[in-house]
Structure 1
Amino acid sequence: MMNRRTWLQTALAGVTTTALPNVWAQALANSGPILTRAIPSSGQRLPIIGLGSSATFAQVARTEDREALKNVMAKMVELGGTVFDTAPSYGASEEVAGQIAQNLGIAQKLFWATKLNVAPRGGGAADAAAARAQLETSFKRIGKPVIDLIQIHNMGDIQTQLPILREAKEKGRIRYLGITTTFSDQYASMIDTMRTQKLDFIGTNYAIDDLFAEQTILPLAQERGIGVLVYAPFGRTRLWSRVKGQTVPEWAKEFDATTWAQFFLKFVASHPAVTCITPATSRVSNMVDNMAGGVGRLPDAAMRKRMIQLINSLPNA
């Protein structure tokens, strides 16, 4: 399966990566700073594009190529981004990113989103103790007295862990709490929890070729006043295979998209329920391109339909 790195190597053969920051410079000059969205429960505004760490970031962290990760995090902040999404289960990414942020002096600028992902171990005090221990480990790794957002990873142990997060929020140790899943067999549980619990955020998958969230999850988030972090906006890399050899349509300039990454990200960003999109990357050129996807105009309803029709007309990966 073609991933974004392979696609870039094919599509940009002969083009130096040092030229790619011009994508951002052009976007900024033409259309202004990065767009922001309000967190429904507080009104705090976040940049629409952030940085995830579930795939390439975690892989690079394991190889100890910290210079690449440092450069990506620094570039995101330089271009106006703040949201960094991670989890204890993403290899070394939480620990390494915490060290990098502190060394760069940007720890206080970041909106840090991490997770609880302790699987149930039989119930009761043992499960609660394991969750609390993991929570304390995240505080040590991140190096901040207050973590912005902690979510229960892949619906985990809601009964045990949600009260622990509520307690941490009441004590001022975390600002927001929520739940996540990217698994279809957990969507029903996510929807039920959204309906019955007070949440600040959810995190889920959503892309131009992955539209299930539009059916219930995103409308319910709007109804309940829940912020949304979007994962896998590139369709778990399937989209790169589908657009191989294809040129971004000229009409995409009507919403200020000049690359496929911007095309995909602007589609996701144009849904009003989306608070922030967190694509993972360990390459500065990708970070620049991604951030440009949060600048300028967004497609309207008619244009969104046109975008979907285009992608649906391409061969499946």
Structure 2
Amino acid sequence: MIRTLMGLALVASLAACGTSRPAPQPQLPLPTVTGVLSTKNAKALFGSEAVGSPQTPAAFGSYAKGCLAGGQQLAETGPTWQAMRLSRNRNWGHPELVDFLQGLSRRGAALPGWRGIYVGDMSQPRGGPMTSGHASHQIGLDADIWLRPANDLTLSRAARESISSISMWRSSGAYVNSQWTRAHHDLVKAAAQDPRVDRIFIFPGAKVQMCNDETGDRAWLRKVRPWAGHHYHFHVRLSCPDGARGCVNQDPPPAGDGCADAQAWVNNILSPPPPDPDAPRVTPKPKRDLVMGDLPAQCASVLAAR
């Protein structure tokens, strides 16, 4: 049962990857790109764009199959944040995401031992499939926030390429390690309590630890979802902005605080079920790159806008 639940969670997250949230947008089928352009490799096209499109900000499609019009660049350094890995040019997002990160960084600056936050990958300038790494982060509403305390906001560009975040897990994600502090708990909590946030992904042991430590309002825990990896950073996903057309939300997280689900993940890490000898052997098909025909029709105009 645990393996089935985790498998369903994996499918749901890859297809798309609270306290309160905007009303769900209509889940209407979006027209896709047609013609010669429809066969072109989407990550090659979007990965070659250096700046956002001169359009009204809009997120088109879903988190793992879409693009971003009018993307805004998060400043490389602000009073309470620094963007990391600048060579990737992934410090772009919908203005709602940029505003959220700036606000969260101020909350982070109030934590003991922190001066703000280090921001990892957001989106490419025009969103779309990335040249490497994430399947999601395509519509400017996802961001990775390092779990390394941001105690130095004067890092050079070179330093931001070489410095690494800090892993917070032990026992393959079943538990947090000695680097985890109450400040980490409070930063994740502050992010989850923002009504614009749809989900936060972090390793299972961290979710269980936060479930065990939280003594006040627990509603925010619903948004914190256990996920494999995510022990160097936590991944924040915003809901589609109010009134957005052509932006596809995920279904809401299941009701409740999700702590039992996280404990099930941990139990599975500690005592994985034995392989089923009767299970059919299936060779997974290689995952193909998205082409423009897989994306909403608006993505062609996002690429073409100059």
| TM-score strictly above 0.5 | no
Where is the helix percentage greater, Structure 1 or Structure 2? Answer: 1
TM-score, length of structure 2 as denominator length = 0.29
TM-score, normalization by structure 1: 0.29
